[in-house]
Amino acid sequence: MSRRNFVNKRMTEETLEAIPSTDPAADTADSAANSAEAKALPDAAAISQEEFDRLKAERDSLLDRLARLQAEFENARKREARERNDFRDYAVAGAIEQFLPVLDNFQLALKSTGSTEQLRTGVELIVKQMEEALRALNVQPVETVGTEFDPRVHEALEMVEKPELPDHQVFDEVRRGYRIKERLLRPALVRVASNSQQKEA
C-alpha cells in the first residue's frame, strides 16, 4: 500500500469515529447513563448540617408521639377492662342485695320450732318474696300450663295421651322456666298432652 493510500484510509477512519452514532440502542444507553449520573449527583452531595438536624428533630418528634399514643392506648385498654369488671361486680352486688332478705327468712325458718303447717306457710311466704325479688330484676317465669307447647321456651319431659285436652297443650309444669326480658334463662320442663283423635280429624 502506498503512503498516499494509507493516509486516505486513516483519515476516513477518524472521520467515521467523529460522526455521531445513529444506533437507537446506543443513544438510549448513553441517555440512561447521563440521567443516572444526574440523579446521583444530589445523593452524592452531602446535605447541610442544618437540614440534618431538622430531619433528626422531626424523626425524634414522631417517635415520641408514637410512644405517647401507644401508652395512651394501653391505658385506655386497662381502664376499659377495669370499668367492665367494676360494672359486673356492681351488677352482681345489686342482684345479691335483692336476695339477702330471702336468705334471712330461710335461716329463720330453719330455726323455727313451729308445726309442719306453720313451716309450710313460712316457706310459701319466702317463695313469694323470692318471686318479688326476681320481678325487681326483670326476671319473669315462662308461661306453661294451658299454653301450646313451644320448643323455644319449653322442654318436653313426656307426651301423655289426653283426649280431653287439645293436642300439644302443656298440662303440667315440672320445673319452672325463666326469661329476662326477651332472653331465655332456662326452658320450662313440662308434660305435654297428646290427642290422637284431634290428629286424625
25-39 confidence digits (pLDDT tens): 445 555 555 555 545
Pairing of strands 178-180, 183-186: antiparallel
Residues 140-154 have pLDDT tens digits of: 999 999 999 999 999
Alpha helices (H) in 112-195, listed in sequence order: 116-136
Q: Quote the pLDDT of residue 76.
A: 93
How far apart, in whole angstroms, are the C-alpha atoms of residue 128 and residue 114?
20
Q: Is the pLDDT of residue 7 over 50?
A: no
Range from 59-68, 97-106, 140-149, 169-178 carrying the lowest mean pLDDT: 97-106
Domains of the chain: 49-137 (3.90.20.20), 140-201 (2.30.22.10)
Among the listed residues 168, 163, 162, the one whose alpha carbon sits nearest the alpha carbon of residue 149: 168
Q: Any bridge partners for residue 179, and if so which? A: 140, 184
Q: Which helix (H) or strand (E) holds 194?
A: strand 188-194
Q: What is the pLDDT of residue 200?
A: 59
